[in-house]
Amino acid sequence: MAAPRPMRADARRNYERILVTAREAFREHGPDAPLDDIARRACVGAGTLYRHFPTRETLIEAVYRDDIERLSSAAHKLLEEHEPAEALELWMREQVAFVLHKRGLAATLKAAMDRDSETFAVCKTLINDAAAVLLSRAQESGAIRDDVRPRDLLLLGHGVGVAAEGNDETAERLLTVLLDGLRRPKP
């Protein structure tokens, strides 16, 4: 079987516009936001929207997957640009910001998705792998305690985001305490 052809530039732009618009619409109206309204706001025809996303479920999954892919790829980019402990700290800040500002949307999208879907499994793998690579590199550098596990980072970051209730100042204070607790004690 031949590999799928890459999208033309205009098709890619339409795809991205639809994703951005759908994310906004889902944030405003939940997963039941009218698809025709999303197409209109994205300045594409309904046919273009349905060509890219044949069902509401495929659009919901694409928005959720895009958010998780961005958060995951940030981990790898940060490791390229910073020392491991700093990369971990910066990524934890991004994770908490994601929870603070997209938690409602992410929860709504996850609830509308099939938990057995390929997208859900891929997203879970991506985010767990991102946490694992950051943590292992920071632990290897000697900066982070050895008893911390990748899932701990995800749970702790989520917990800070939820506890801060949308308040950036509270989130920053809690995250600072959390990050101090992750550091390996000095002998």
Tokens of 111: 């609830």
Do 174 and 160 form a contact (C-beta atoms < 8 A)? Answer: yes
Residues 72 and 14 in one domain: no
Residues 93 and 175 in one domain: yes
- Of the given ranges (23-32, 111-120, 153-162), which has the lowest mean pLDDT? 111-120
CATH number, residue 105: 1.10.357.10
The pLDDT value recorded for residue 166 is: 80
Long-range contacts of 151-157 (CB under 8 A, 24+ apart): 153/88, 153/92, 153/95, 154/95, 154/127, 154/128, 156/92, 157/92, 157/95, 157/96, 157/99
The pLDDT value recorded for residue 1 is: 54
pLDDT in tens, 39-97: 999 999 999 999 999 998 889 889 989 999 999 999 999 999 999 999 999 999 999 99
Residues 50 and 61 in one domain: no
Residue with more model confidence, 6 or 176: 176
Total count of domains within the chain: 2
Residue with more model confidence, 5 or 138: 138
CATH number, residue 48: 1.10.10.60
Residues 93 and 169 in one domain: yes
Mapped onto helix, strand or coil, the DSSP state of residue 139 is helix
Give the CA radius of gyration of the chain: 19
The pLDDT value recorded for residue 81 is: 97
DSSP conformation letters of 158-173: HHHHHHTTT-HHHHHH
pTM above 0.75, yes or no: yes
Domain extent for 3: 1-54
pLDDT in tens, 98-154: 888 776 666 666 776 677 778 888 989 999 999 999 999 999 999 999 999 999 999
